[in-house]
Amino acid sequence: MECNEKRGIATRIIHHQGCSCGNTGAVCPPIYPASTYKQAGPGESSGFDYSRSGNPTRKALEDYIAELERAHSGYAFSSGMAAISAALMIFQAGDHIVATEDLYGGSYRLLTSILNRFGIKHTFVDTSDARAVAAALRPETKALYVETPTNPLMKIADLDALGALARKKRIMLIVDNTFMSPLLQNPHVFGADVVVHSATKYLGGHSDLVMGLATARTEKTAKSIKHIQNGVGAVPAPSDCWLLMRGMKTLKARMESQQRAARLIADWLTTRPEVSRVFYPGLSSHPGYNIHNGQASGPGAMISFYARNRAIADAAFKNVRLWTLAASLGAVESLIASPPRMTHATFPKKELQRLGINEKLIRLSVGLEDPHDLIKDLEEAFKAASK
């Protein structure tokens, strides 16, 4: 893989060599549906011998994400959860993982109801508190598993501090970078060993595919993930790899526009009597504002807020017309969600209450519509509460 370190991200997104076909000059990669590959002699491989183990279209995508994340190598999976599972299958019975407490619901389910059955233990902590993270470490701790910003409370973990802690303790740092995308944040730069993405979200960007990606900082980690990808076999179809690369090419244009709109909407929310608190790392009032600015080049396009009361929140969910009430995020259409009843329904009720993930909390994923229309739509939905 040719890595053009000096080129800007916009150029690297468009001109990655895997995104074209060297043989024909085609400006997008071909889709190779082949499941198997002819060998010149027994065991004489062209580099590809069976498509679960490796496929040229998938390889183009894997090299592409590795370049964008500044990783040693990348691996593609059939969903974000498959990528996260692969990252966590590096560990074995008796190992312990310290993870963010307000984690994506599916990652919570994986740790608490699947990996636990294989003897992989976990402790949840507020990873925006580096001292709490250090205090949760045990002799058998093998990894920190972190989201920043978190889902849905937008808490910020200090990647530099956690990277230093992981190095000092000789444990792995794994970061779910779905909310930021490689455009805004590159956790490997701070020492993260593995970065995972739900490519279903910003990378795909169009709500028309489910996929996951994992990147590794070192060759050793890359080998472990590749072994799991091949051995477990949760690989994506070549046509989906192609579709994802098509989406990724417009990542910068989409994310910058969505982020601009999100800033306007977050500012507007802070002025509203119906809103008691806004969680957005682009607001200087956000407790993680400085840390976030030190490790990411923008606040992204996800916003959470508390409605002042339940009636206002219910009215918003019921009366919005432009915002689609749906799980997922990061795509061209704006979505509104109720985390405790949707994305985080897998958490125990008590834990949701403790974390403050309640019915007054509203999560927004800002899309590509005119932001003024989005604001007007929310304003009208709020008004319905007072009727």
| Binding residues for ligand PLP (CB under 6 A) | 79-81, 104, 106-107, 147, 151, 176, 178-179, 198, 200-201, 210, 212, 329
**Do residues 197 and 80 make contact, with C-beta atoms less than 8 angstroms apart?**
yes
The C-alpha angle 161, 76, 102, rounded to 5 degrees, equals: 40
The answer to whether 52 is a known catalytic residue is: yes
**DSSP secondary-structure letter at 204?**
T
In sequence order, the 6+-apart residues with CB closer than 8 A to the CB of 246 are: 28
C-alpha 31/C-alpha 37 separation (Å) is 14
Residue nearest to ligand PLP (CB): 80
User: What's the closest the beta carbon of residue 370 comes to ligand PLP, in angstroms?
Assistant: 25
Query: With respect to ligand PLP, which residue has the nearer C-beta, 209 or 312?
Result: 209
User: What's the closest the beta carbon of residue 331 comes to ligand PLP, in angstroms?
Assistant: 11
The answer to whether 104 is a known catalytic residue is: yes
C-alpha 261/C-alpha 374 separation (Å) is 9
User: What's the closest the beta carbon of residue 15 comes to ligand PLP, in angstroms?
Assistant: 27
User: What's the closest the beta carbon of residue 316 comes to ligand PLP, in angstroms?
Assistant: 21
Query: With respect to ligand PLP, which residue has the nearer C-beta, 103 or 385?
Result: 103
The alpha helices in the chain, defined as continuous H runs, are 9-14, 56-68, 80-88, 105-109, 130-136, 159-169, 181-184, 219-232, 238-248, 251-270, 289-295, 310-319, 349-355, 371-385
Write the Ramachandran bin of 233: left for phi over 0, alpha for psi from -120 to 50, otherwise beta.
left
Query: With respect to ligand PLP, which residue has the nearer C-beta, 280 or 382?
Result: 280
Query: With respect to ligand PLP, which residue has the nearer C-beta, 193 or 274?
Result: 193
Q: Which of 12, 121, 142, 201 is catalytic?
A: 201
Query: With respect to ligand PLP, which residue has the nearer C-beta, 64 or 104?
Result: 104
Candidates 181, 292, 236; CA nearest to 32 is 236
User: What's the closest the beta carbon of residue 330 comes to ligand PLP, in angstroms?
Assistant: 8
**In the sheet where 302-307 sits, what is the strand order?**
275-279, 302-307, 361-365, 335-337, 324-325
Q: Which of 95, 126, 158, 176 is catalytic?
A: 176
The alpha helices in 233-356, defined as continuous H runs, are 238-248, 251-270, 289-295, 310-319, 349-355
Query: With respect to ligand PLP, which residue has the nearer C-beta, 178 or 229?
Result: 178
Q: Helix (H, G, I), strand (E, B), or coil: what is residue 157? A: coil
User: What's the closest the beta carbon of residue 77 comes to ligand PLP, in angstroms?
Assistant: 8
Q: Which of 32, 64, 75, 104 is catalytic?
A: 104
Greatest Cα-to-Cα distance within the chain, rounded to the nearest angstrom: 77
Six token digits for residue 112: 């608490």
Active-site residues, by number, are 52, 104, 176, 201
